[in-house]
Amino acid sequence: MALRTKERIGAFLAAWLLTVGAGHAQQEFRYEAWHGHSRPPHIKKAGEMGVLTISESGISFQAKAHGWSWAYQDIRQLKIAPGWISVVTYEGEKWKLGADREYRFELPFTKMYTDAYPFLKSHLDQRFVAAIAERIADPLWEIPAKHLLRLGGDEGVLQIGPKGMAYLSSKIGESRAWRYLDIENVSSSGPFQLTITTYERATTHYGDLKGFNFELKQALGEDRYNDLWLRLNRSKGLKIPDVYGGN
């Protein structure tokens, strides 16, 4: 009887250890990806296929001719857009006057969006950039807007939610999904203008903060702007005095 009891206890402990081990198993996502550079149509595209791996320890790419591996702390910016992902490192490019080196990989977006994107979003800080049209499920409010660029711009909708903001653009690659931790500041010079300053890397300024300047198609009421400002600053732990509507 004692032996049978010990066997039952041993079996229970083994099953428990397997369960704990499974719960702590590292998540890993693998994709066939293309690394290369776009060339004019009459010139064959240079590059190669390989395997891009995203895991809790970092990101790596392995192909016949090239192989790279980066821990998250060594990535200056990780950007996801429809059809591709880019890794900007702290390495300098001499021919770009010391600008950070960028590695770009093309891969199936739908699969990455359903598995690796939620993983990266929950694991990375403001060095993560989501250039995708991710709608906020229950927006507090939204407003149509034009994103002003150096040459022209694109049109879309700004959405404000409890935990972040989104810009849904009509142009692929111009949409953004921001958590409040991804935003440094918001400012406005009038009811039809809003600037969102983010921690996204501004390539033209060698790593400075990137600002998104919007021309609003509807007036932004002072109450909505103040609510947005308060949400952003409370997310940073700022204690707002009662006179400004804080608690």
Q: Which two tokens stand for residue 228?
A: 């947005």
pLDDT band at 131 (very low <50, low <70, confident <90, very high): very high
Residue 174: the pLDDT is 95
Write down the mean pLDDT value for the chain: 84
d(CA 27, CA 54): 8
Cα separation, 88 vs 102, whole angstroms: 4
Which pLDDT value is given to residue 202? Answer: 80
**Rounded mean pLDDT of 125-135?**
95
pLDDT at 152: 85
Rounded to two decimals, the pTM is 0.80
Of 90-94, 169-173, 187-191, 192-196, the least confident: 90-94
**What pLDDT was estimated at residue 242?**
56
Instruction: Kindly list the distances between the CA atom of residue 209 and the CA atoms of 25, 65, 190, in Å, as whole numbers in the listed order.
Output: 36, 35, 22
Distance, CA of 233 to CA of 238 (rounded, Å): 6
Which band of pLDDT confidence, cut at 50, 70 and 90, is reported for residue 128?
A: very high
Task: Look at residue 36 in the predicted model and tell me its pLDDT.
Answer: 80
Q: What is the mean pLDDT of residues 110-133?
A: 92
Per-residue pLDDT, 148:
95
What average pLDDT score do residues 130-159 get? 94
Report the pLDDT value the prediction gives residue 99, as an integer from 0 to 100. 60
User: Average pLDDT, stretch 132-161?
Assistant: 95
Region 79-100: what's the mean pLDDT? Answer: 77
pLDDT band at 186 (very low <50, low <70, confident <90, very high): very high
Residue 223 pLDDT = 96
Would you say residue 197 has pLDDT above 70?
A: yes
Q: What share of the chain has pLDDT > 70, as a percent?
A: 78
Q: One-letter amino acid identity for 29?
A: F
Domains of the chain: 28-130 (2.30.29.30), 141-244 (2.30.29.30)
Give the number of other CB atoms < 10 A from CB of residue 39.
11
- E-state strands within 41-140: 46-55, 58-62, 67-71, 75-81, 84-93, 99-106, 128-130
* 53: DSSP letter: E
Give pLDDT tens digits for 27-58.
899 999 999 864 444 445 678 899 999 999 99
Range with the lowest mean pLDDT among 15-19, 95-99, 143-147?
Answer: 15-19
The pLDDT score that the predictor gives to residue 18 is 43
Taking residues 181-185, report their average pLDDT. 96
